[in-house]
Structure 1
Amino acid sequence: MTDHVRWGILGAAKFAREHMGPAIHKARRGRLAGLATSSLSKALPFTEMAPGVLIFDSYEALLDSPEIDAVYLPLPNHLHVEWTLKALEAGKHVLVEKPLAMQAEGFDPVISARDASGLLAAEAYMIVHHPQWQKARELVQGGAIGKLVRVSGAFSYDNRADAANIRNKPETGGGAIPDIGVYIYGATRFVTGEEPQEILSTEIVRENGVDVWSHITARFPTFHYTGVVSMRMAPWQDMTFHGEGGLLRLTAPFNPQVYGEARIELHRPGGEMVEYRFPAANHYVAQVEAFNASVLDGVEYPCPLEFSRGTQAMIDMVWAKDRG
């Protein structure tokens, strides 16, 4: 490694092809250097995007290569811990898709391996790298809406027609909460800096052993939380932070540019509304650039595994409450 990070991707997943591969290719101080796939047809879009990218016929071959410094891991959820540990053992930095683990305790061996190796391992929780979320945290914690009373979140899409999708399969760690609950739960924690004290209620609908719709309420130290996530509703995204002196709303909180333009609406009493717009920011690129800077310069990574573990701990609390 010299002045840039040489990235490899384990598997030619659709998300890697459409989002993270291009982000790695575009990010400053990084280069898409390798892809592990046995399918030449799946490799083609990557080679067209990044001519010269090395194609490995197995995950192990990529991890063994001295031409790779860091690995992006978009495998199905149930494989994340296993291959993150293998990558660290091979001396590679790792950015792994969320959720890294299916229970909070699953993060612990990865945190230990990260610390023992001195390498960077992080969950690909991209939203905290977006300036809209950094601004939202600044506004809420800076008192722009006064004392916070309520946080509400919603994130939905409809994939019922895609039965083969890993999100619809229990054996691959599927479900709406593991897939998108992490966003509304983690965003609440990120903006407020608080952790849930108690899950007050759960209403969860399951199909084929995975959650497809849920409504969760929780008590945090200073506010009440309510959130809905679903894989069986029309696409919708919204996060609202409601205080005694105003209301903050993010209109495209999780998939800006795809779902819509990232905007923050700051509503104040009397009908005043201040709008913050972020039309060009790409949180995938920002995430990779933050990772590159941490690897190359040793600066603190903005979203450590400990933060991601906290979001999974909230999910674990939801499961425990639902079981009664």
Structure 2
Amino acid sequence: MKPLRWGILGAANFARKHMGPAIHAAKGAELAALATSSPQKAAGFEAFAPGIRVHDSYDALLADPAIDAVYIPLPNHLHVEWSLKALAAGKHVLCEKPMTLQADEFDQLIAARDASGKLAAEAYMIVHHPQFIRTRELVQGGAIGKLVHVDATFSFFNDDANNIRNKPEAGGGGLRDIGVYTFGSARFVTGQEPVAIPYAKLRMDNDVDVFAQVSADFADFTYTATVSMRMFPRQEITFHGDKGVLKLTCPFNANDFDAATLTLETEGQTVTTERWPGVNQYVLQVENFCNAVQTGAAYPCPLEFSRGTQQMIDMVFAAGGQRA
């Protein structure tokens, strides 16, 4: 089976450091092209992917008949526009999160995906990591008894006014940048959706959210989260049942922030620890995408799932008195 030939729209640092190398390393994939007008930025990709074709515009890359799929790491406010253009050009699309700025924007992406017959998905890598697949298996399998409460935290410090995360016109803010992980991970593991957001305290700076404290009600459990771009780096998610507690201490940036580790404590003070050293969730994401295109297998993170996470973000903005 021929590899899926990939192009990248834009020479973003994240693409150069993580997704470009992941596409280059993934089975069933070939990193074939890059769109950038900067020779200096292109050199960073040529260092690990010699021979990569460099187009001087996004449109030129989309017009390249030798490209099957595109990865889009552009600023948030450009995601919908270029995802739609890529689908119209007959390319499969993997777009960075958040793929949209509001949940209803997913509807046109879903319609375009269905009309094109191509795969389109948000680059939500954590659901491809075995620690989350294992967590879902344990929680839904009753390893901690009846789930009562989920608590999630994700924070880092970034007050650089020139960074796109701090620019409202680029769709910046903590909830869109990392709230997708605290919210989407709970949805993925439990298979449930929030029914209400009884409390959301947001702190804004230059019209972007830099701190959010959230409580949510799901059908069978309660949920709390802290998301911040102005706190010391921390990430953790805990699933607390009536028969045990399951904790992930590096759920989102596995083997970058720390080692991917799952700890399960059950009755009788029995503690089980599982670790996944060396697993690259970005490579797994690309391989699952390629496999879905090449074999028709179900993709672990369809647009409908991503729409649900964005819907929860919209609910939090509304509960916090802010427009999404």
TM beyond 0.5: yes
Q: What does residue 65 of structure 1 align with?
A: 64
Aligned to 1:301: 299
Q: Secondary structure at the match of 1:91?
A: coil
Matched, 1:17 2:23: no
Mapped partners of 1:268, 1:293: distance in 2: 37
In structure 1, the residue matched to 2:241 is: 243
Q: Report the alpha carbon displacement of residue 280 of structure 1 after superposing the two structures with TM.
A: 1.6
Query: Residue 76 of structure 2 aligns with which residue?
Result: 77
Q: Which runs of no fewer than 5 residues in structure 2 stay unpaired?
A: none
Q: Deviations over 1:171-213 (max 9, x none)?
A: 0000000000000100000000000010010111110000000
- Separation in 2 of the partners of 1:48 and 1:238? 34
Within the alignment, does 1:261 sit opposite 2:249 as a pair?
no
Give the ranges of 4+ consecutive aligned residues of structure 1 lying more than 4 Å apart after TM superposition: none
1:159 shift after superposition: 0.7
For residues 189-204 of structure 1, the aligned pairs below 5 Å read: 189-204=187-202
Q: For the residues of structure 2 that align with 1:314 and 1:48, how far apart are their CA atoms?
A: 40
Secondary structure in structure 1 of the residue aligned to 2:47: helix
Match of 2:173 in 1: 175
- Give the equivalent residue in structure 1 for 2:146: 147
Q: Distance in 2 between matches of 1:48 and 1:311?
A: 36
* C-alpha deviation, 1:273, in angstroms: 0.5
Measured after TM superposition, the shift of residue 270 of structure 1 is 2.9
Q: Distance in 1 between matches of 2:47 and 2:250?
A: 31
Q: How does 1:37-116 map to 2 (within 5 A)?
A: 37-116=36-115
1:255 and 1:39 map into 2 onto residues whose CA distance is 29
Three-state SS of the structure 2 residue aligned to 1:323 is coil
Match in the other structure for 2:286 = 288
Residue type of the alignment partner of 2:268: G
5+ long unaligned stretches in structure 1: none
Aligned to 2:230: 232
CA distance in 2, matches of 1:186, 1:29: 27
How big is the shift at 1:102? 0.6
Q: CA deviation at 1:35?
A: 0.2
Identity %: 60
User: Match of 1:12, as an amino acid?
Assistant: A
CA distance in 2, matches of 1:215, 1:102: 20
Give the superposition deviation at 1:163.
1.4
Q: Distance in 2 between matches of 1:280 and 1:192?
A: 26
- Please, which of 183, 186, 206 is the counterpart of residue 185 of structure 1? 183
What's the offset of the Cα at 1:67? 1.3
Work out the CA distance in 2 between the residues paired with 1:48 and 1:22. 10
- Residue matched to 1:3: 2
Q: CA deviation at 1:297?
A: 1.1
Q: CA RMSD in A?
A: 0.8
Q: How many residues align?
A: 322
Shift of 1:269: 2.7
